[in-house]
Amino acid sequence: MNKHLLSAAILGASLGLASGQAAAAMTDEEVARLGADLTPVGAIKAGNEDGTIPEWTGGLSEAPAGFNRENGYVNPFADEDPLYVITADNMDQYADKLSEGHKAMLKKHPETYTVPVYKTHRTAVIPAEEHEIIKTESKNVELVGGGNGLANFEQTNVPFPIPKQGIEVMWNHLTRYRAGGYRDYPTEAVVQGNGAFTPVVRERRLTMTAAMEDPEENRLFYYWNKALEPNSVAGSQLLVHEPINHVKEQRLAWRYNPGQRRVVRAPEVGYDSPPLTSDGLRTSDSTDMFNGAPDKYNWELVGKKEIYIPYNTYDLADKSLKYTDIVRKGHINQDLTRYELHRVWVVEATLKDGERHIYSKRRFYVDEDSWNIALAEDYDGRGELWRVEEAHQIQYYDQLVPAHHLEAVYDLQGSRYIAYNLQNEEPVVEFGPQGSVGDYSPAVLRRRGR
């Protein structure tokens, strides 16, 4: 067995789990480990044996000197240089810590794609009051409907801090801390083979129901976006009511068409349907690396592994950059990226018999400290690696939110890719709940129409 990969069975033993506990809620003994040998969100607190992954000591909770939020987030590690840069020529030397997706990207773009590896900083941290909620609820939250919903879920952002199943890891990603919600202006770029692209700018709002006083029953969050540019799509809107239990109720979605000035139900928003402006390069359920109902797949918890993932990529989030500085032919500008060695949960999703999806298998690499999905690999119906996804993460240190600021999907079987959630030329993200239930009603779409 690869020494950098702990199987689910070995990992269970190392975390003090018994095989018979696979579907059980956490015990008092397990809860007591949170904040002790495990971090408050369930990561291994200690560093690794060779010291290349340090101990978690509380994360990055203070802004560095010179920080002005309106000007973007200052890189607290700006004086660091890469420890080494992985290329197509030397990748075999680091193969045991590279994802299959990164190996494929290095081979596809041997002249331009690199993985610059920096010193590891475990910056992820959320507010202390959230730690107590995690402890309290983790003893009660349960999977229902074969893993397609949660019971006894109220406010926790980590329902399964010591996961025993792959689906539990995915629910931790789906419910992770987002300061109750956010408002931002994500930009999407479909990049052609020659590097050309037209930015699509949106306004986006999300509110987690755990931060609301009057949410409807069976809601995880409310989501809305509106296209602002270019003129060909400006004014179009999308509204989503996301359930907690997908068996009890499916996702509710509506679209607003500015040309017709009509609000219509949009049952197609989910699974492998492509977002309207993605030109087929990503699926609806790959937004945020994964979202929506998990019912089409069987979820296997492969184990925990030490690999290089995008982390603390503050240079890539720099507000002085233009999108043309980032978006390049074949892939984003790797000179602006940063990769660090972190422990991740590895989860494999295999399409169930009788279900349909363009991806027959998917592999997710989930950061243990934040529960953000850092990398994903998507396989086609023939079982061949088709697309590689990566999410670049920073710690928003003034808000105590570890979150993605750019995601990319690379098509290995073609010459195009898509980058989305770019925000360098837009206003800085605003964290916190974005309105009440009434602000997410279908009637609001018409009022917000141009």
Q: What is the pLDDT of residues 383-437, one digit of tens each?
A: 999 999 999 999 999 999 999 999 999 999 999 999 999 999 999 999 999 999 9
Locus of tokens 């290349």: 52
Rounded average pLDDT over 15-42: 75
Percent of the chain with pLDDT over 70: 94
Q: Is 378 a domain residue?
A: no
pLDDT at 18: 33
pLDDT tens, 300-354? 999 999 999 999 999 999 999 999 999 999 999 999 999 999 999 999 999 999 9
| pLDDT reported for residue 20 | 32
Indicate whether 130 and 104 sit together in one domain. no
The H helix count followed by the E strand count for the chain is 7, 20
Range of the domain at 87: 83-117
pLDDT bracket for residue 450 (50, 70, 90): low
- Kindly state whether residue 291 falls inside one of the protein's structural domains: no
pLDDT of residue 5: 52
What is the average pLDDT score of the chain? 94
Q: What is the distance between the terminal CA atoms of the chain, rounded to a whole angstrom?
A: 59
**For range 61-75, the mean pLDDT:** 94
237, 104: one domain:
no
Q: Is 369 helix (H, G, I), strand (E, B) or coil?
A: coil
Distance between CA atoms of residues 314 and 204, nearest Å: 22
167 with 105, same domain: the answer is no
Instruction: Say if residue 100 is in the same domain as residue 221.
Output: no
On whether both 145 and 16 belong to a single domain, the answer is yes
In a domain, 380, yes or no: no
Residue 4: pLDDT band with limits 50, 70, 90 = very low
Q: How many C-beta atoms lie closer than 10 Å to residue 51's C-beta? A: 9
- pLDDT, position 17: 36
* 187 and 273 part of one domain: yes
**Residue 365, class by beta-carbon neighbours within 10 Å (0-12 exposed, 13-18 middle, 19+ buried)?**
buried
3 state SS of 114? coil
Please check whether residues 96 and 166 belong to one and the same domain: no
193 and 148 in a common domain: no
Residues 91 and 240 in one domain: no
Which letter does DSSP use for residue 122 in this model? Answer: -
Q: Are residues 150 and 256 in the same domain?
A: no
Do 14 and 145 fall into the same domain? yes
Residue 22 has pLDDT above 90, yes or no: no
Distance of alpha carbon 369 from alpha carbon 433, whole angstroms: 23
Under the banding of pLDDT at 50, 70 and 90, the label for residue 14 is very low
Q: How far apart are CA 177 and CA 140, in angstroms?
A: 19
Phi-psi region of 16 (alpha: psi -120 to 50; beta: other; left: phi over 0): left
Tally of structural domains, the chain: 3
pTM across the whole model: 0.94
What the block records as the tokens of 52 is: 């290349």
Containing 132, the helix (H) or strand (E) segment is helix 128-137
Q: Supply the CATH number for residue 279's domain.
A: 2.50.20
Give residue-wise pLDDT tens across range 259-311.
Answer: 999 999 999 999 999 999 999 999 999 999 999 999 999 999 999 999 999 99
For residue 116, say if its preceding peptide bond is cis, omega within 30 degrees of 0.
Answer: no
Q: What is the mean pLDDT of residues 359-387?
A: 98
Confidence at residue 23, expressed as pLDDT on a 0 to 100 scale = 53
Average pLDDT of span 192-205: 97
What pLDDT, on the 0 to 100 scale, is given for residue 25?
A: 78
Report the alpha-carbon distance of residue 63 to residue 183 in Å, rounded. Answer: 21
The DSSP letter of residue 19 is G
Task: Report pLDDT digits (tens) over 165-198.
Answer: 999 999 999 999 999 999 999 999 999 999 999 9
Q: What is the predicted pLDDT for the residue at 309?
A: 99
The contacts of residue 200 (CB under 8 Å, 6+ apart) are 187, 188, 189, 227, 229, 230, 233, 277
The pLDDT value given to residue 66: 87
Closest residue by Cα to residue 389 from 368, 413, 363: 363
The residues facing 376 across adjacent strands are 364, 389
Q: Is the pLDDT confidence value at 13 over 60?
A: no
If one counts every other C-beta atom within 10 angstroms of the C-beta of residue 82, the result is 14
